[in-house]
Chains A and B, each alone.
Chain A
Amino acid sequence: MNKRRTNLFIVAAASMMLASCTVNDNSPGLEFMPDMYRSPAVEAYVDYGMDPYNFSDSLAVSQRNHPSARKPVAGTIPYGAQSELSYAMPYSYPNTTEGYEASAANRSPLIHNQENVDKGKEIYDRMCIHCHGKKGAGDGTISANGFILGIPAYDGKLADLPEGKMYHTLTFGKGLMGSHASQLSSKERWEVIEYVKVLQNGGKLVEGNAPATEEVEVAEIVEEVIEEIHAPAAH
């Protein structure tokens, strides 16, 4: 009787082993030296709260449960080449209705030439085309599929939109359009605006050098905002 039970046990164990061979999409499969794949060294996009190898003892508590996808901290300046950095100065127009109106005075630091337009087109085709459409008529795939309607055309309703307002919208978002500041660097935003201006103008480039930035109005608005912030503290 005892022998029989042993035999049954062997059969059960064998069948369990065989059953474990089925495909499981959730499992990465066998790993050689798993500690090299899931190491205590902090890697991007790894959730250390779910660390299967229990390295948590060696990790600072602040690292745990703080994985992956987060919005960059406000005021983050990109790490990169000097040429990018010169465009990474803080943006001085506030995210208010007045700030939007005042941003019309802001001017692009780029020279309006074909090279910048081409760079802008490359970015436009990646970042804007699915909503705004190939020629900026507001007829992108998302609009055609009926998800977001009424996207204004660059050469229609937005034909007179100044570049400063475009930059403001790209930075803070407006209406249904969200902020693209976390996806596009300041320089890339200005480059894509170069191409949008060509679309505004029916596909023709208006060449010329960029005029200097008008800082006066900005300074006034910034002062106002600072006053507003400090006003309650004075009472």
Chain B
Amino acid sequence: MNRVPFGRCKSRFRATILLSILLVFSTSVLKAGIFDEGDAANGQVLFNANCASCHKVDESVLAAPGLGGIAERWGSSEEMLVKWIMNPNGAIESGDPYIKSLISQYEGSFGIMTPQPVSEDQIKDIFAYIANPPPPPGDPEDTVACPTIHDNDDEVSSAAGIWFLIIGILFLIIALSAAGANRSLKNASLESQGKEPLPNVSYTTLVMQWMSRNKAFVSVIGLFAVCYFVTVSYIGAMGIGVYEGYEPEQPIWFSHAVHNCENEIDCEYCHHSARKGRHAGIPSTNVCMNCHKGIKKGSKTGTEEINKIYAAIGFDPSTGAYKEDHVEDPIKWVKVHNLPDHVFFSHSQHVEVGGLDCRNCHGPVETFISGRISPVEETNAQNIPGLIELSKPTLTMGWCIECHNKAEIDLQSSDYYIEMHDRMKSNERGQEELRAILDDGKATVKELGGWECAKCHY
């Protein structure tokens, strides 16, 4: 009963041989191709579309190990690699020891790869591309026109002032020593003639004597000097509490031009509490990491500045993992827009309710490097819809109330205004007030209480 018929056994044997021949053949076909042949140009397209979000072509880590040197490193069969790419879960279930070791090595750092919709031929192309990646580009050309305010900065004016001062001091020293030498020479010649030397008078006395001789000249010069000093001190006094152009050095060389203009990241991506709270918000380091986990080299400063983010949050760019037990060392950004304690200002009231563009108050930030208080002339020079042009210096009270006087409110723009509008219309006194507000056909912030002291000071 338990004897197996010879014929069946033979056929099974034959089938096994056939199968193994087939298997060997198929692997040898794969071996000939997977790392050797393939269209690298097509591979590049496929790589960028399917792999580049996690893998790099060199050995550096992105969101998964780099693929550089994969041909030498891969410790299992090549079909297993193909299987791993097309169906990772299937490859894990096959129980391959190398795959198992990979999982245990990288578990926790990275997730498991998703199945990739590529064919075997396409995988060959991709590996051809990985084996021969294009040389890294040199200095990236500035293709995007994003000029910054520092591009046409002329430091000449202040430098010229310093040179003028130095020359002036040198001239004074020369003049004084020449006068001294002149005196000694005169004294020497008088002595040789046997006369009395000049009386030892001070410079002050000499100047006083000269002034009394040239009264008209001195009074004209004096008038000019008084005018000059009055003007200078007036301008100086007007600059007290005016912050225009304040641009303190920040702990990291961060460029608004690169982020906002070149890469078109919205202001509110980083300053994300502008719609919700009083402060627009300085992004916490984890927000930087949303992009800089992958972007490890900046276009302007290379790795130097981005490494400061990594140091703060405890990220190792070479392994692509966060350090364990790292206590975050917050980046100490210097506050630029600083209002005194007795002023209340809310971003959400202006951005969410008022619907203002950030640039209306902050100026052409897309041309700035670090945070800066835009002078009112620069803000006015922008070409943006609905810009309210102002004349007083930015961030002064005159500037605030000038805008509150000019800015119009659409009484249908929010539920609050619609409700208030309806209530006012419903009784006689309200109608009267409404008529007073709308006498010029518009409702301004001032007319709705924007000039009440307690609106901002409390």
Interface size class of chain A, counting residues whose CB lies under 8 Å from the partner chain? 35 or more
Give, as a whole number of angstroms, the nearest-CB distance from B336 to chain A.
Answer: 9
- How many angstroms between the C-alpha atoms of A126 and B339 in the bound complex? 27
CB within 8 A of A22: which of B162, B204, B243, B286? Answer: B162
Q: Which residue of chain B has the shortest Cβ distance to A78 in the bound complex?
A: B276
Question: Do A68 and B279 have beta carbons less than 8 Å apart?
Answer: no
Q: A180 near B: Cβ within 8 Å? A: yes
- Which residue from A67, A70, A150 sits with its C-beta under 8 Å from B49? A150
Complex Cα distance A157/B113, Å?
A: 13
* Binding site secondary structure of chain B: loop
A interface SS class: loop
Given A4-B203, A45-B333, A70-B328, verify A183-B169 contact (CB < 8 Å).
no
Chain B 60-100 against A: per-residue CB contact (8 Å), 1 yes, 0 no? 00111000000000000000000000000000000000000
A76: min CB distance to chain B, Å: 12
Are the C-beta atoms of B284 and A149 separated by less than 8 Å?
no
Q: Which residues of B contact A180 (CB under 8 A)?
A: 290
Contact of A142 with B263 in the complex, beta carbons under 8 Å = yes
Cβ contact within 8 Å between B54 and A176? yes
Report yes or no: A145 in contact with B240, Cβ–Cβ below 8 A.
Answer: no
Task: Please give me the residue from chain A that is nearest to B248 by CB atom.
Answer: A26
The reply to whether B243 and A28 contact each other, CB–CB distance below 8 Å, is yes
Q: Give every chain A residue within 8 A of B204 (Cβ-Cβ).
A: 3
A201 at the interface (CB under 8 A from B): no
Given contacts A7-B176, A30-B236, A71-B328, contact A182 B248 (CB under 8 A): no
Task: Let me know if B338 is at the binding interface, CB within 8 A.
Answer: yes
Which residues of A are found within 8 Å of B239, using beta-carbon distances? 29-30
Question: What string of 1s and 0s marks CB contacts (under 8 Å) between B395-418 and chain A?
Answer: 000000000000000000000000
A206 within 8 A of B: no
B48 at the interface (CB under 8 A from A): yes
Q: How far is the CA of A30 from the CA of B202 in the complex (A)?
A: 39
Rounded to whole Å, the gap between the CB of A105 and the closest CB of chain B is 18
Residues of B in contact (CB 8 Å), total 74
B52 x A178 contact (CB < 8 A): no
Closest residue of chain B to A178 (Cβ to Cβ) is: B290
- Whether B390 sits at the interface, judged by CB under 8 Å, is no
Chain A residues in 8 Å Cβ range of B52: 149-150
Interface status of B145 (Cβ within 8 A of chain A): no
Is A226 positioned at the interface, with any CB of B under 8 Å from its CB? no
Contacts of A119 in B (CB 8 A): none
Which residue of A has the minimal Cβ distance to B283? A69
- B263 CB, min distance to chain A CBs, angstroms: 5
Q: Is the CB of B265 within 8 A of A149?
A: no
Given the contacts A68-B333, A71-B284, A176-B54, A141 and B264 also touching, CB distance less than 8 Å: yes
* A29-41 Cβ-contact flags toward B at 8 Å (1 or 0): 1111100111101
| A19 touches B (CB below 8 Å) | yes
Decide: A18 and B247 in contact? CB cutoff 8 A: no
Pairwise interchain contact A69-B240, C-beta atoms closer than 8 A: no
Residue pairs across A and B with Cβ atoms less than 8 A apart, 8 shown, are A19-B162, A44-B279, A45-B279, A147-B295, A148-B295, A150-B50, A151-B53, A182-B286
Sort A-B residue pairs by CB-CB distance and give the 7 closest, nearest first: A150-B52, A149-B52, A178-B290, A150-B53, A36-B340, A25-B247, A141-B264
Binding site for A on B (CB under 8 A): 47-54, 62-64, 111-112, 117, 144, 158, 161-162, 165, 168-169, 172-173, 176, 180, 202-204, 236, 239-243, 245-249, 262-266, 268-269, 272, 276, 279, 282-287, 289-291, 293-295, 328, 330-335, 338-342, 372
Contacts from A to B (Cβ < 8 Å): 3-4, 7-8, 11-12, 15, 18-19, 21-23, 25-33, 36-39, 41, 43-47, 49-50, 66-72, 80, 97, 100, 125-127, 129-131, 140-142, 145, 147-152, 157, 173-180, 182-184
11 more contacts with CB within 8 A, not counting A28-B338, A184-B272, are A7-B203, A19-B161, A25-B248, A45-B279, A47-B334, A68-B332, A100-B111, A130-B264, A130-B266, A148-B53, A175-B63
